[in-house]
Amino acid sequence: MQQIIKSDHLVTDVEKAIQALRHDKLFVLTDENTHIHCLPLIAKIPLLQEAKEIVIPAGDTNKTIENLSRVWQLLTEHGATRHSLLINLGGGMVTDLGGFAAATFKRGIRYINIPTTLLGAVDAAVGGKTGINFEGYKNEIGSFYPSESVIISSGFFRTLDRAAILSGYAEMIKHALIHSEAEWEEILAYPFDEVDYSKLNELVVRSVKIKQDVVEKDPFEKNIRKALNFGHTTAHAFESFAMTNGKPIPHGYAVAWGMIVELWLSHRLCGFPKEKLQRSVRFIQEHYGAFPITCDHYEALYEITRHDKKNIGATIHFTLLGDIGDVRIDQTADKELLFEAFDFYRDSVGL
């Protein structure tokens, strides 16, 4: 299982993680942003002096087979073997694509994730899901292939703007909702007006452990790991819809808006308490604003949702909640009910 390292001394912790894994050659994958802003924070590590850096374009729209192929190509050109080690230094796009490159190159090489965004730390870097977008669909091609370790350092979070912090925080809201009322209360009480990075790091590590506990019970998503999909069926539809229209949205924002839809479905189908629905929705609306959709978009969103990887045949599967911590996997909703949920979403965010 992945080792989660809460790093208070980034250089020392990265050095130890590399030393723990015997390798013949070392590679570092960055994007154009992390090459400039993040690599210098670890560049002085002696072990990295001989490492080959691979730089790909930034942004989720670049999580493509072309960039994956470029990583394979450069690994090959620089003589990587099955005993080489890859370090993914970046947000979710880098750890998703880099993890998939590691999973498939020479049928699998070892890798380390160093997430540089809050979203990457609480979501993509942990749990072993890797992949790329394909034909307009999010994470359509990929594999389960965990990194050897994940190094979480709040030093990176200090460089993030409010939108990037909120994007990661949405996954933390989700983890709280599937875990416990106490965690949910604390997550909703966090003061965004004055970010306390020490407190944030504490909440992040707790959130990561919630995810890791779920993944350990069900690494290949046959059962309870589906809990982590809460909010995501709708979120992926919003993301794919936005991408197709040339206006990509941050993954965490899509998750926040997706949770509004799926909390309402939880209320209707599983009896999720109305007061907790309203408090959760109010928090999301206040912090995340709205993804603008109209009734005219419902059909397109429904078609994308039908294509979701979690579905069986033509039936749309959701992970819903009977209450906070009461996860109900493999719930189904028909087209009419989903359209009602979209209505509720639009009313909730003031569209």
Catalytic residues: 107, 129, 171, 211, 221, 225, 229, 232, 236, 251
Q: How far, in Å, CA of 302 to CA of 12, rounded?
A: 48
Query: For the chain, how far is it from start to end, CA to CA, in angstroms?
Result: 44
Q: How far, in Å, CA of 194 to CA of 10, rounded?
A: 24
Beta bridge partners of 331: 318
Other CB atoms within 10 Å distance of the CB of residue 313:
7
Q: Could you tell me the CA-to-CA distances from 124 to 100, 127, 346 in Å, in that order?
A: 12, 7, 28
Apex 206 CA angle, 202 and 211, nearest 5: 145
The first and second tokens of residue 175, run together, are 């983890």
* Selection from 171, 146, 318, 302 nearest residue 238 by Cα: 302
Pairing of strands 129-134, 137-144: antiparallel
Q: How far, in Å, CA of 72 to CA of 54, rounded?
A: 10
Cα 334 versus chain centre, distance: 27
- Tell me which amino acid residue 86 is: L
For the chain, how big is the Rg over CA atoms in Å? Answer: 20
**Element (DSSP H or E) covering residue 248:** none
Give the residue carrying structure tokens 């189908």: 269
Orientation of helix 162-179 relative to helix 251-270, angle to 10°: 30
